[in-house]
């Protein structure tokens, strides 16, 4: 056993944990890139475990240039890749990073994320967020906002719609109980506060500018310019 592993194991024993507990937590963080306590019982247990050994996790990931964003109020923790910039968090280096868990989205996912951010900001202004900082939005309202802001509809194909929403749920940006709910316009989803930390204000500004200049838009100008496979984290 290496000195590093031995030292880690001793630190874990002090918290009544073992290497298996450690691996489960680290692998989950690296796989998902985020833990959100209210998402499931599994994530609640892992989040509580993280809080007990946060300094160890931070030190370990820091060796790879990975930073942690830990929001204790809304009880989530997210990994920030090297070189990524997140609103409200200082960038510690300009080191380039193009792979791993930097989240890359399709055009359809980008459009939906922009709409969710805009609607979340609206809910914040109106003071209609819950104690967890979530905004509740009906599928019908989301579809209407998509048409009004981006002149595009949600996928009519149910498989495509489920895949689109499932991707954003994996990123812990939204939460809904059952995929069958996506078939009903009066069903509700929760938009989590994590969306504020992931969506660049520049994107919102570009969206607003596009809307304001769209009195008679050309077809190719109907949507904000966002490159295929764009990253939620700014470079």
From CA 216, how far away is CA 173, in angstroms rounded?
A: 33
| Chain segment 57-114, per-residue pLDDT in tens | 999 999 888 999 898 988 999 898 876 655 555 544 434 333 334 556 788 888 888 8
pLDDT for res 48: 96
pLDDT confidence of residue 191: 93
Q: Helix (H, G, I), strand (E, B), or coil: what is residue 196?
A: helix
Per-residue pLDDT reduced to its tens digit, 154-182: 888 888 888 999 889 888 889 887 776 67
Average pLDDT over residues 16-41: 92
| pLDDT for position 210 | 58
pLDDT value at residue 220: 45
Distance, CA of 150 to CA of 224 (rounded, Å): 8
Query: Pairing relation of β-strands 34-36 and 76-80?
Result: antiparallel
- The span from the CA of 36 to the CA of 73, in Å, is 11
User: In the structure encoding, which two tokens stand for residue 84, read together?
Assistant: 């990524």
- Quickly state the pLDDT bin for 225 (edges 50, 70, 90): very low
Report in angstroms the alpha-carbon separations of 106 from 103, 164, 166, 230: 10, 9, 13, 7
> For the chain, what's the residue count?
235
Instruction: Give the sign of the dihedral formed by CA 140, CA 143, CA 144, CA 145.
Output: positive
For the CA atoms of 36, 39, 40, 44, the dihedral, rounded to the nearest 10 degrees, stands at 30
Q: Is 136 helix (H, G, I), strand (E, B) or coil?
A: strand
């Amino acid at each position: 056993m290496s000195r590093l592993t031995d030292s880690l194991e001793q630190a874990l024993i002090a918290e009544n944990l073992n290497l298996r507990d450690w691996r489960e937590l680290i692998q989950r963080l690296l796989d998902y890139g985020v833990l959100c306590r209210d998402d499931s019982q599994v994530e609640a247990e892992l989040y509580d475990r993280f809080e007990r050994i946060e300094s160890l996790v931070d030190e370990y990931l820091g060796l790879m240039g990975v930073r942690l964003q830990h929001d204790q109020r809304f009880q989530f923790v997210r990994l920030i890749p090297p070189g990524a910039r997140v609103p409200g968090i200082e960038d510690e280096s300009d080191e380039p990073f193009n792979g791993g868990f930097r989240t890359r989205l399709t055009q359809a996912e980008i459009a939906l994320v922009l709409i969710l951010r805009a609607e979340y900001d609206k809910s914040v202004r109106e003071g209609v967020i819950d104690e967890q900082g979530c905004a509740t939005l009906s599928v019908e309202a989301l579809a209407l906002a998509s048409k009004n802001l981006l002149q595009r509809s949600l996928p009519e194909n149910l498989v495509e719609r489920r895949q689109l929403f499932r991707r954003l749920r994996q990123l812990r940006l939204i939460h809904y109980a059952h995929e069958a709910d996506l078939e009903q316009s009066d069903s509700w989803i929760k938009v989590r506060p994590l969306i504020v930390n992931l969506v660049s204000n520049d994107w919102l500004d570009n969206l607003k500018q596009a809307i304001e200049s769209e009195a008679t838009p050309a077809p190719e100008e109907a949507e904000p310019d966002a490159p295929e496979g764009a990253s939620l984290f700014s470079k």
